Amino acid sequence: MPPVTQPAPERRAPGWWATGAGLAGGLLLDRLIGDPPRGHPVASFGRVAGAGERLLYADARLPGAAYAALLVGGATGLGVVAGRTPGGTAPRVLLTALTAWSVLGGTTLRREAAAMSTLLQATDLPGARRRLSHLCGRDAGELDGAGLARAVVESVAENTSDAHVGPLVWGALFGVPGLLGYRAVNTLDAMVGHRSERYLRFGWASARADDVANLLPARISAGLAALFAPLIGGRPGDATRAWRRDGGKHPSPNAGPVEAAFAGALGRRLGGPVGYAGRVEHRPSLGTGPTPEPADIARAARLSAAVSAAAGVLAVAVRLALDGRRR
């Protein structure tokens, strides 16, 4: 009887770990440096998007959908082409690291929050009103110290998901194309996705695309915020209850869960009137307790840092697990 031969074990492809290592490298660069100091790729994309808007704008949904598809598809396609460039493992690691660094914004977010905290602690309201534009597009001219502190805490919560967890989720799933595609979606939402008269129809597709892209990242962010609530003196149960009770009240399906979880973790109440381009929105209350004080900004930033670090570890682990199973 002839001997039974066992099939040779399948081996992983050389450099299978490159994307995971690149994500880790991008996280490290973001932690050490923050946003690229010059020639930020997101700003370059914004200029391209602005030119595209001037060419394609019409007060209708269909041109807006074509605009979003063209720009998001172009950014994602660029990532696909770049990822297929030959050259071995080291260039793939470097490409992923630089791409991740260019789209992550966790460190810069916390630096801006710290700058706002310093201004508010010094009761420099004019300076804080000017600086708020680095975090969000709210009308700051009439905000007092409490209103500015609330705006910063809400922006830190929302942008922890948008600027850090979101890119990591899509980068873990799809590598460089996911990183670039997500950032394109998020940037277009910031540019044309708001509910102004000009963009109500043209920006509809960009806003809906951003809603879909952030469904998972926002809930991961909210869950991690609840998990790490004890780091800032909060309770996971309070954060979870606020998320479940109040998250759905927010007009954004994704900002709501994250802001509510942060509110519960901080033991503060978020929400209230918000001004954008002369138009006032009345947001529902999220969480219970007093409104944020300037000292709460540092607590929110510490929670953001914990959420960002945990999301980074998870993203790298997921990517390595996915690539480790592929042959």
Confidence (pLDDT) at 15: 85
Task: Answer yes or no: is pLDDT of 327 > 60.
Answer: no
Residue pair 94/22 in contact (Cβ under 8 Å)? The answer is: yes
Map out the domains of the chain as residue ranges.
Answer: 40-325
Question: What are the pLDDT digits (tens) for 87-116?
Answer: 789 999 999 999 999 999 999 999 999 999
Q: Which residues of 61-99 are buried (b: 16+ CB within 10 A; e: fewer)?
A: eebbbebbeebbebbbebbeebbeeeeeeeebbebbbbb
Task: Answer yes or no: is pLDDT of 38 > 90.
Answer: no
Q: What is the 3-state secondary structure (H, E, C) of the chain?
A: CCCCCCCCCCCCCCCCCHHHHHHHHHHHHHHHHCCCCCCCHHHHHHHHHHHHHHHHCCCCHHHHHHHHHHHHHHHHHHHHHHHCCCCCHHHHHHHHHHHHHHHCCHHHHHHHHHHHHHHHHCCCHHHHHHHHHHCCCCCCCCCCHHHHHHHHHHHHHHHHHHHHHHHHHHHHHHHHHHHHHHHHHHHHHHHHCCCCCCCCCCCHHHHHHHHHHCHHHHHHHHHHHHHCHHHHCCCHHHHHHHHHHHHHHCCCCCHHHHHHHHHHHHCCCEEEEEEECCEEEEEEEECCCCCCCHHHHHHHHHHHHHHHHHHHHHHHHHHHHHHHHCC
Indicate the SS3 state at residue 286. Answer: strand
* Average pLDDT rounded to a whole number, residues 195-208: 93
* Average pLDDT rounded to a whole number, residues 12-18: 85
* Average pLDDT rounded to a whole number, residues 249-273: 96
Task: Answer yes or no: is pLDDT of 319 > 60.
Answer: yes
List the end-to-end C-alpha distance of the chain, in Å, as a whole number: 33
* Average pLDDT rounded to a whole number, residues 314-321: 97
Task: Answer yes or no: is pLDDT of 28 > 70.
Answer: yes
Confidence (pLDDT) at 9: 54
Residues facing residue 281 across a β-bridge? 274
* Average pLDDT rounded to a whole number, residues 230-250: 97
Confidence (pLDDT) at 273: 85
Confidence (pLDDT) at 7: 55
* Average pLDDT rounded to a whole number, residues 43-53: 95
Confidence (pLDDT) at 141: 86
Task: Answer yes or no: is pLDDT of 199 > 70.
Answer: yes
CA 292 – CA 294 distance, rounded (Å): 7
Confidence (pLDDT) at 299: 98
Residues facing residue 273 across a β-bridge? 282
Confidence (pLDDT) at 1: 54
Phi-psi region of 143 (alpha: psi -120 to 50; beta: other; left: phi over 0): beta
Question: What are the pLDDT digits (tens) for 139-167?
Answer: 888 899 999 999 999 999 999 999 999 99
pLDDT over 70 percentage in the chain: 95
Of the listed ranges 121-125, 203-207, 275-279, 312-316, the least confidently predicted one is: 275-279
Residues facing residue 270 across a β-bridge? 286
* Average pLDDT rounded to a whole number, residues 232-252: 97
The two tokens of residue 76 are 């994602």
> 162, 117, 109, 208: which is closest to 311 by C-alpha?
162
Confidence (pLDDT) at 86: 75
Task: Answer yes or no: is pLDDT of 303 > 90.
Answer: yes
Confidence (pLDDT) at 264: 98
Cα 293 vs. chain centroid, distance in angstroms? Answer: 24
How far is the CA of 201 from the CAs of 59, 193, 204, 267, in angstroms?
6, 9, 5, 38
